[in-house]
Structures are given as C-alpha cells and as structure tokens.
Amino acid sequence: MINILDMDLEELKQWMKSNGESKFRAKQVFDWIYKDICEFENMNNIPQSVRGKLQTYFYIGIPRLIEEYTSKNNDTRKYLFELGDGNLIECVVMKYKHGNSICISTQVGCRMGCKFCASTIGGMIRNISPGEMLAQILKAQQLINERISNVVLMGSGEPFDNFDNVMKFLEIVNSENGLNIGQRHITISTCGIVPKIKEFADFNMQITLAISLHAPSDEIRVKSMPIANKYSIAEIIDVSKYYIDKTNRRITFEYALVKGLNDSKQDAEKLSALLKDMLCHVNLIPVNEIKENELERSSNDDVTEFKRVLEANNIQTTIRREMGLDINAACGQLRRSHIKGEELK
Ligand code: SF4
C-alpha cells in the first residue's frame, strides 16, 4: 500500500489514467485530503467504485497522537506523533498574532551530531517521506481546529540530508492543489551543507533559508558542530552570498549562545566582520540546556551585549522569543524523554 500523501497531483492523475479512471478524480481526491477529510469513504463526490480502488491501493498516512503538551501561556503546543512503522517524531505549533506556525521534523533522529541538540543523540533512524511531512501539518490542523499558515523545517533532522523528499514536500505544501502555503511563509533551517545550499539556491524559490552558524570561527564551530569539519565558515558565507544573489532573499543566521564558548564581545565582533554588508539577519538563541550535554546558557547581560555589538555594525539582530520552554519544546527533547520513559515537567 502507498501513502497517498507521498504523491503529487500529476502522479495521482497518471495513476487514475492507468487504472481506467478520469484524471480529474485526482484533483477531487486532493481537494478532500487537503481540506482535512482524511477517509476515502467520506469523499462523497467520488463514485464508490473509485473509492474502492483507492482503498485497495492507498492509505492516508496521518500519524497517531501519542502525547500533547501545552505551554502555560497557551501559545505553544508540542506533539509527539507515531508514524506508521512505530517511529516517533515531534512537531511544535506556535500561535502568533499573524497566524499559526508549525515546526516539523524531516528525519527520525539526525546524524549531524550538533552538541546542543537532543535529536541527534541516538543518531539518524530514517528519512521522513514527503507525505509524512505533510501529515504533520494535517494532523496538527485537525488538533487545533485552525489553519496553519507558516511552516518551519527546523524540528528533528537536517532537511538537506533528505533533499529529494524535502523538495517534493515543498512542491505539495506550496501548491494551490495541496496546502497552498506561500513560499514566503516557509523557512528551511540547515546546519550548513554547502553543496546542497547551492543546489537549493538554483531552484530560485522564495523560501527563507536559516543557517545554523553558532560560531564566528571554524575553531569554535567545530567544538559544537561536527559538520564544521567538512565545510568551513568561509564556504558557508560564499554559498550564502550565492543564495542571496539568486533569490534576493534575506538569509537568517541562527546563533545559539553558549556561556564561555561563543558569547564574548570579541566573538560578536568577529561575527560582525563576517556578515558585514550581507542581506542577512541574526537570530540569537540562548541555548537550551539539555541533560545529555554540558553546555551552559549565556547570561542575559552577555546576550544583550552580543546583540548590541552586532547592531552597532548594522546587522539586524533578534533574540529568539522563548516559547514552550516549560514543555521541553526544543528540538528532540520530547521524543528522547518519551523513549527514556521520563516524566516531563
Ligand atoms: S540541530 Fe538540526 S542538524 Fe544539528 S543535530 Fe539537531 S536536528 Fe540535526
């Protein structure tokens, strides 16, 4: 059986044709699915005979809700979902004034080994299919009973380590026949896989690219991000400029501040020199302390001073609004707690 969410409209049209049905049935099926009707038997403008065939060949792979946590101020919900094969993934829904945003996972686990991240502790189990990415949004919409208008690929997994599936997901999520979420409402976050950033730039999409930089030099970066052994910051800056040239989009550099590692005034000055005159924005993230690592959070004063130095160098800087800290909302923490059978706060 095939997860119908893994198919784009053209593929489903071809399937209809080769199974003796009119191609326009594919559009009808898409209309139902992406309006959150996820049972073939409820698609009442489709003849029973076609519904029967659909049920024989396909399933609609919506994940099972295992756990749900809502932050105290009600602006963040974190879900632990079970995929068809029993693997667990997380996604987070954040309510903003401008609408609902979801952070989805692109892999079960991750093999990138970033020290500050709980998702990578057990390694990478498998890639998530395009349909399983879409299903996180469909399921979350059902749960909150509202539309989701912004998508961030920043949960478990490195999206560019699962490039083809992510590209197909983007096609369907953006399509007016799919979830119809505009490219400018989608953000992809990468730890900096340089050749894939270049390949992505060549698609010339209007998607926001967020690069996890987290250090002003390779010597510091390699201490928390093994990917720094493969690609230097100089290469990341070069490919970022290429992305900006191609797409005319502003890049976001994510920078998790860790006490004593990358949060000094000199670090802020070095970072400013790297990013000078680039169409970019820096998002400072006071790092989440996780049980399995020894990283310590920067003091509020150091965070403020770091921001001040960047802004003095005309670099737009924000400090990430902390949402859901009381429910282990940081990447991978809920799944790990569940696997280890721990009680959450
Ligand atoms: S931060 Fe992202 S790339 Fe790094 S280990 Fe975690 S999920 Fe993977």
Mean pLDDT of 317-322: 82
**59-118 pLDDT, tens digit each:** 999 999 999 999 888 889 999 999 999 999 999 999 988 899 999 999 999 999 988 888
Residue 344 lies in a domain: no
Q: List the beta bridge partners of residue 68.
A: 79
pLDDT at 230: 98
Domain hosting residue 114, numbered range: 64-339
Please report where in the chains the tokens 């924005």 appear, as a residue: 281
- Separation of CA 204 and ligand 1 centre (Å): 24
| Same structural domain, 41 and 72 | no
Phi, psi of 166 (to 5 degrees): -65, -40
- Separation of CA 189 and ligand 1 centre (Å): 9
Residue 168 lies in a domain: yes
Residue 106, domain CATH? 3.20.20.70
End position of a domain, from candidates 59, 74, 108:
59
- Stretch among 56-65, 158-167, 322-331 having the lowest mean pLDDT: 322-331
| Same structural domain, 16 and 128 | no
| Same structural domain, 199 and 273 | yes
Say whether pLDDT at 343 is over 50.
no
Q: Please state the length of the chain.
A: 345
The answer to whether 131 touches 58, Cβ cutoff 8 Å, is: no
Rounded Cα gap, residues 106 and 88, in angstroms: 12
Amino acid at 188: I
Mean pLDDT of 233-241: 98
Mean pLDDT of 167-193: 97
| Same structural domain, 17 and 115 | no
Mean pLDDT of 164-178: 97
Say whether pLDDT at 324 is over 60.
no
Based on the structure, what is the number of domains in the chain?
Answer: 2
- Separation of CA 155 and ligand 1 centre (Å): 8
pLDDT at 244: 97
- Separation of CA 119 and ligand 1 centre (Å): 6
pLDDT at 345: 35
**Token pair of 160 as six digits:** 């560019």
Q: Is 68 helix (H, G, I), strand (E, B) or coil?
A: strand
Which of 21, 90, 132, 254 is an active site residue? 90
| Same structural domain, 70 and 54 | no
Active site residue 331: yes
pLDDT at 297: 86
Residue to mutate (ligand 1; options 121, 128, 158, 214; most atoms within 8 A of CB):
158
**202-235 pLDDT, tens digit each:** 999 999 999 999 999 999 999 989 999 999 999 9
pLDDT at 286: 82
Q: Is 255 helix (H, G, I), strand (E, B) or coil?
A: strand
pLDDT at 321: 67
The helices-and-strands tally (H runs, E runs) of the chain is 11, 14
| Same structural domain, 231 and 168 | yes
| Same structural domain, 38 and 124 | no
Determine how β-strand 208-212 pairs with β-strand 251-257. Answer: parallel
Say whether pLDDT at 159 is over 70.
yes
Percentage of residues in the chain having pLDDT higher than 70? 91
Rounded Cα gap, residues 317 and 311, in angstroms: 7
Residue 17, domain CATH? 1.10.150.530
**Token pair of 220 as six digits:** 């510091």
The 10 Å CB-count burial string (b at 16+, else e) for 178-204 is bbebeeebbbbbbbbbbebbeebbeee
Q: Find the residues whose C-beta lies inside 6 A of ligand 1.
A: 110, 112-114, 117, 119-120, 156-158, 191, 331
**Nearest CA, atom 6, ligand 1:** 117
Nearest to 206 by CA among 246, 155, 148, 160: 246
| Same structural domain, 102 and 199 | yes
Phi, psi of 125 (to 5 degrees): -90, -50
Say whether pLDDT at 326 is over 70.
no
Which of 103, 191, 280, 331 is an active site residue? 331
Q: Annotated binding site for [4Fe-4S] cluster: which residue ranges?
A: 110, 114, 117
Residue to mutate (ligand 1; options 91, 104, 108, 110; most atoms within 8 A of CB):
110
pLDDT at 344: 40
Long-range contacts of 145-149, Cβ-Cβ distance < 8 Å, separation of 24 or more = 146/100, 147/99, 147/100, 148/93, 148/99, 148/100, 148/101, 148/102, 148/181, 149/98, 149/99, 149/100, 149/101, 149/181, 149/185
End position of a domain, from candidates 59, 79, 103:
59
Phi, psi of 324 (to 5 degrees): 70, 15
Mean pLDDT of 306-322: 91
End position of a domain, from candidates 59, 87, 107:
59
- Separation of CA 225 and ligand 1 centre (Å): 9
Q: Annotated binding site: which residue ranges?
A: 110, 114, 117, 157-158, 189, 212-214, 288
Residue to mutate (ligand 1; options 108, 115, 117; most atoms within 8 A of CB):
117
pLDDT at 311: 97
| Same structural domain, 54 and 68 | no
Residue 345 lies in a domain: no
Q: What is the mean pLDDT of the chain?
A: 91
pLDDT at 118: 85
